[in-house]
Chain A
Amino acid sequence: MIRARRSLIALVALLAIVLAACGSSGGSKSAPKTSSTTGFGAAPSGTIVVGAEQDAACADWIDKCAASSWGAWMMQYQTMPRVFDYAKQGSDWVEVPNVAMAGMPTVTDVGGKQTVTYKISDAAIWSDGQPITSNDMKYTATQLASGKNVYDPTGYDQIESVATPDPKTAVVTFKKPFASWTQLFSADYGIQPSHLLEGKNRDQLMKNGYSWSGGPWIAKWNKGVSVTLTPNPKFYGTKPTVQKVIFKILADTAAQFQAFKAGELLAIYPQPEPSAIAAIKGGVPGTQAVYTADTANLEAVWMNNSRAPFDNKVVRQAVAYSIDRNAIVKRLFGDIGVEKPMQNLQPPINSRFADPNAWSQYTLNLDKVNSLMTGDGWKKDGSGVWAKGGKTASFTIESTAGNKRRELTEQILQQELQQAGFKMTIANKSADDLFGKILGAGTYQMTIYAQTATSLNPGLCAVACTSAIPTKANGQSGNNLSRISVPAADPLLATVDSNPDVQARITAGKQADRLLGDDQVSIPLDPLPNIVLWSDRIGGPVADNPVLSMFWNMNLWTLKG
């Protein structure tokens, strides 16, 4: 009798679990569904669950702990007002005013100084009903220029003063012409609420999450578990139509794809690693996908121009002619339709400043390799490796250990270079060693890593001007880690970084690109494509944004079924 009762209880429990599974979820309904895209007068409904590969480290966007892309995508861009959004016009990405602004800022010259006037929208308010004001911009600038625990004050340290003639107008005066002014108060840090933070410990109040917002969502952070976004009822733009968006932290790529296939997650944004691409190739029914090479990333094979054998331009060029970059990119990303290599050293979002063909002459051409090397006095030794003056054309590549994509790239490079008469040894290091010691000290010959732009301003001189080479004189502070030294390009690169005239910057950028390409300072590879995957249940304009990610317009998403 007792046994029978126990069996019955077990059966009922199992049945309950199975019946629970027969309900609908992944996204769930808790209110009548509406189809309004503005949300006015219609209650938001449904929950969208999204997979996040990483948790935010902290929510104080000014602090170094906030140098986390996912933190920005999940929380910062959803809650912090900013000056600019980023849109594609024709073939170029450009800044457009965010809904928090009344229009494009205007740049003028006042007393010989560059001055930018920002007009904040009259409708722009924080979630507590207080207006977003010019004092918020002044507070943000002050915190970044001189506050505590600041990640990177670049740009804000160029500001001489911020005037606030009225609550909706901020006038920023720069110490000297600053071409990259559009990166300020935008995707980097946004605009902070002075009425909530001024005079207080900003880091303490924000780092573990905050309940206010100046964007379409209010974020609730359950550390290590999830970030839940609920609509900001005071948002002055298009209000969200879904009741909740939940980012679930799931670092394991295999588990993430399984959860996506099973409907536990309705959208994911995986890194373009071989494991993710293999999972996509296996098929994901009931979903939609966008694979885009239009990103803020550039992965390149960087050569140390100050170290043999790459201190020799002929060798640099010959190595470039030894490589079939088309084949490499096709091998890495062909399964998602990205097959063309980059042809300049700028990420796609800065393409308007770049020459689209600066590196296009460097295709696999072993005859060219032979003529360049023999013309420079090299001969192949007994093992088929180029040699000159008792030294062989051998070198070591040091990239980040454990990165499967880069390891695969190195293997392909090694084979191709061997055929051309170059001996490349692979000796990968930890990211900390590579970025903390080796690149800065210049003790490497060749490496692979990606640069990611955080704005539509190239910042070329910082990475390619001769004056930016890390030396003892500048305290090893330069960012020209490849030790690129093309003196003719220096003034052009400086123009790109400092001239407020956009057209002049574009012209100079293209000219500089051609010079750098002719000198073959390094080898651009691929744009590290973005992968956007979402369920058919999500409607609305789901699209990638190279700076703000696929989640930039979630307030316009809808949930079907």
Chain B
Amino acid sequence: MDSLHAIGFYVSAAISLGGGLLVAFLPGRGARGLALGVSGLGIAGLYASLSADFAGLVALVCYAGCGLLIAAPRYRVVDFPVGMVWRQAGAVAAAGLFAILAYAAFRGDFVHAAYKGGEFGTAAIGRLLFAHDALATEAVGALVLVALVGATAAWRVRDRGR
């Protein structure tokens, strides 16, 4: 990875992680949605610096959608009946997960190879999506369909209950 891509990678990593931490600590749905969008921008930058431009574009659109959903006026508060101790235990478990996975990444014995890519690659990804891995693409399409139908049904049930 050359210096320009490396700088883009580190800046994008800082933006994505900073946005993620803001999602955790900012109050209010609007600020959280905006922070999630910023984090998505960083993740898209990470993809772009890893020569995955198409995935970056898809991620940019999807994370903007996630941010809009989180910040939408239809936001409803649903509190978990979970005590502070369990939340702190979850935070410690998240830190432990980071430590374990980071150790695994650090100790991993990876093969080093040169990369000759850099192209946008939409045609190749399209061939892979719709020819080689058509089943996985259809599974994600089915997931999107189920999610949209479920969301619509839930909204209609709630509106009918008013």
A and B: real partners?
Answer: no
Chain B residues packing against A (C-beta within 8 Å): none
Chain A residues packing against B (C-beta within 8 Å): none
